[in-house]
Amino acid sequence: MNRPVPSTDPAISLTGVTVAYGEVLALDGVDLTLGAGLVHGLVGMNGSGKSTLFKALMGRVRLTGGEVRLAGVTSDAARAAGLVSYMPQAENVDWDFPVSVREVVMMGRFGHQDRMRRIRAADRAAVADALAEVELTHLADRQIGRLSGGQKKRAFLARAMAQEAQILLLDEPFAGVDRPSEDTIIRLLRSLAAQGRTLVVSTHDLAGLPNLADDVVLLQQRVIAHGTPEDVLRPETLGLAFGAPAVSGAGR
Amino acid sequence: MSWWDYLIEPWQHEFMLRAILVTTVAAVVAAVLSCWLVLIGWSLMGDAVSHAVLPGVVLAYLLDLPFAIGALIFGFAAVALIGAVSRGSKVKEDAAIGVVFTTLFALGLVLISVIPSQTDLNHILFGNVLGVLDVDLLQVVVLGALTLGVTLYKRRDLTLYAFDRAHAHVIGLNVRWLDTLLLGLLAVTVVVGLQAVGVVLVVAMLIIPGATAFLLTERFSRMLVIAPVVGGLCSLAGLYISFYADTSPGGTVVLAQGTLFTLVYLFVPEKGVLAKLMARSRSVAA
């Protein structure tokens, strides 16, 4: 079930990671160490570099400087070993695409399959388990766009679970999600962390962070603060990134 | 003549047999590929590649090479140029596509006018399906089979690529390679379709069957069956009509595809225009 991880601790480390788009610095010397088996919240304003940070972790953007290591290896090697999973933001998904929920979850299994991606019994079982975990078994044959906002997020979470990735990157998993779905997702994320997976969750929902995250990274091109939710969510700390006076309970 | 005689008659001519074979192979191969192209949003790219191959075809005739080689080289050159223009300047991609493919198409027209040759411009532009030579037939069948084989072998990777590039990248697939593969398949399919319908209309075969199938189903695996059936049936219907009505074969085949798309667009349950109108009038009446 669990693939061997080259090195467990820390799961993610960035040293001096800098990304420039033309003359604009999206990330400016980010140093960050994220431990394994934890849920890490990632907060910051729009344009603070959260998306770029995800892209850097996924190896989807060329680093101007610095280094990214995932589970002790380079980002390329981590991807090749199937260690990384990514849940996209809702607006980056084509919801009219003719695939069923089950087929989307099956896409998490490609790394376990041969070059033709033939589906084996183990793949079917992993997909069925993941669907059951996120409580979507009864909707498995629905076209992916015919789900509610929360169900869509759970479908993509199931894909990451079926992949059995060690590092899960989740981009705004609570946007457009109703309260019950949010609670389900938080519970699932916590249980994944309890199994030793490492989760990085970007969110605008500051109020929900204490229930979700073990620690929080406040980003504004650089790491402004990194600590427990209580520490980072203090108004004087938030003010550094969101601009003073900090709004209490911003986002909700 | 009974209806049976009408049905049999075209098959008794060698030139019609070849026409049916070439058109059906081209339509089926293009239809399969069209399923991905319409989902990715590469219709304009298909148009661009098909027009841009013109100078390649002309030069291939001049150098006495198989026209597939010239077409492939210019197909890839067009894609590279489009990428270079849109990345290397602030010109948006659709404008870059428009600049590159029209310029290459124009280059082809100029080459035809200055190079003395037996090739008939009309045959390249609109196809020459009634004058298929053995070598053309061989090219179409071999390239068609090759394209279809590679496409179906890589179908799951291509579908993931079309649906979610970020995930494809993250799980270790080589997205850039899939990009190139799909462009290559597109270029080869254009070459396969040239003989049947010509450079101007080949893009229809690369879009319409996939778009029709997309309206009919929410399952990609079913699109992969419906699209080639649509493409194949429209080829047959178009060639029959063209045989008896003495119309342009390529034009009639594409017209058949367009007509079928229109019918589906209007009458498909739930998603169709008619169904939506009826639903609206019901909700107004209620």
- Indicate the pLDDT class of residue A9, thresholds 50, 70 and 90: low
Of A7-21, A41-55, B14-28, B180-194, the one with minimum mean pLDDT is A7-21
Q: Say what the pLDDT of residue B3 is.
A: 86
Q: What average pLDDT does range B220-241 have in this prediction?
A: 96
- pLDDT at position B244 is 95
Q: How far is CA B167 from the centre of its chain?
A: 28
A57-64 mean pLDDT: 94
A51: in domain? yes
Which of A21, A103, A106, A118 would best serve as a mutation to test chain B binding (most B beta carbons within 10 A)? A103
Share of chain B above pLDDT 70, in %: 97
For residue B8, being part of any structural domain is answered with no
Together in a domain, A64 and A128: no
pLDDT at B284: 67
- In angstroms, the CA A59 to CA A65 distance is 13
Q: What is the domain range of residue B127?
A: 15-285
Query: Across the interface, do A110 and B166 touch by the CB < 8 Å criterion?
Result: no
**Is residue A247 pLDDT above 60, yes or no?**
no
Q: Residue B170 falls within a domain, yes or no?
A: yes
Q: Residue A132: pLDDT above 80?
A: yes
Is A218 in the same domain as A116?
Answer: no
Residue to test with chain B: of A110, A139, A163, most B Cβ within 10 A? A110
* Residue A71 and residue A20 share a domain: yes
Domain total of chain A = 2
Q: Is the ipTM of this complex over 0.85?
A: yes
B 20-39 residues inside an 8 A Cβ radius of A: 39
Q: Which of residues 170-209 of B touch A (CB under 8 A)?
A: 170-173
Residue B9 lies in a domain: no
Residue B3 within any structural domain of the chain? no
A79–B223: do the CB atoms touch at under 8 Å? no
Contact A162, A109 (CB under 8 A): yes
Q: What is the CA radius of gyration of chain A?
A: 18
Q: With an 8 Å Cβ cutoff, are B167 and A143 in contact?
A: no
CATH of the domain at B45: 1.10.3470.10
What is the pLDDT confidence band of residue A166, given thresholds at 50, 70 and 90? very high
Q: Which member of A80, A94, A143 has the closest CB to residue B163?
A: A94
Assess if residue A89 is contained within a domain: no
Q: Which residues of A touch B223 (CB under 8 A)?
A: 98
Q: Is the confidence at residue B43, as pLDDT, over 50?
A: yes
Q: How far is B123 from B65, CA to CA, in rounded Å?
A: 17
pLDDT at B250: 92
Give the whole-angstrom CA distance, residue A249 versus residue B135. Answer: 73
Q: Which helix (H) or strand (E) holds A222?
A: strand A222-227
Residue of chain B whose alpha carbon sits nearest to that of A78: B172
Residue A6 has pLDDT above 80, yes or no: no
A247 and A142 fall within a common domain: no
Beta carbons of A97 and B162 less than 8 Å apart: yes
Q: Tell me if A46 sits within 8 A of A131, measured CB to CB.
A: no
Query: What is the model's pLDDT at position B217?
Result: 94
Q: Residue A98: phi, psi to the nearest 5?
A: -75, 65
- How far from chain centre, in Å, is Cα A209? 14
Q: Identify the band that residue B286 occupies on the pLDDT scale cut at 50, 70 and 90.
A: low
Contact B156 A97 (CB under 8 A): no
Residues of B in contact with A163 (CB under 8 A): 171
CB B132 within 8 A of CB B18: yes
Interchain contact, A99 vs B164, CB within 8 Å: no
pLDDT confidence bin for B117, thresholds 50/70/90: low
From A58, A99, A117, residue closest to B170, measured CB to CB:
A58
Tell me which chain A residue has its CA closest to the CA of residue B160: A107
Does residue B217 sit at the A interface (CB-CB below 8 Å)?
yes
Range of the domain at A128: 95-164
Count of domains for chain B: 1
Domain membership flag for residue A52: yes
The confidence score (pLDDT) of residue A250 equals: 42
Average pLDDT estimate for A141-160: 95
pLDDT, tens digit (0-9, with 9 covering 90-100), for A169-188: 999 999 889 888 899 999 99
Q: Tell me, yes or no, whether A75 lies in a domain.
A: yes
Confidence band, pLDDT 50/70/90 cuts, at residue B261: very high
**Chain B contact probe: residue of A57, A74, A94 with most B CBs at under 10 A:** A94
Question: With the CA atoms of B119, B123, B124 and B125 taken in that order, what torsion angle do they form, in degrees rounded to the nearest 10?
Answer: 140
CA B151 to chain centre: 14
Domain annotation covers residue B256? yes
In a domain, B206, yes or no: yes
Contact (CB<8Å) A98/B217:
yes
Mean pLDDT (chain B) is 90
Model pTM score: 0.89
Considering only CB atoms, which chain A residues are within 8 Å of B214? 98
Min distance A9 CA to chain B CA atoms (Å): 21
Q: The domain that contains A22 carries what CATH number?
A: 3.40.50.300
- Measured CA to CA, the distance from residue B124 to residue B70 in angstroms comes to 13
Enumerate residues 125 to 154 of chain A having a beta carbon within 8 A of any beta carbon in chain B: 143
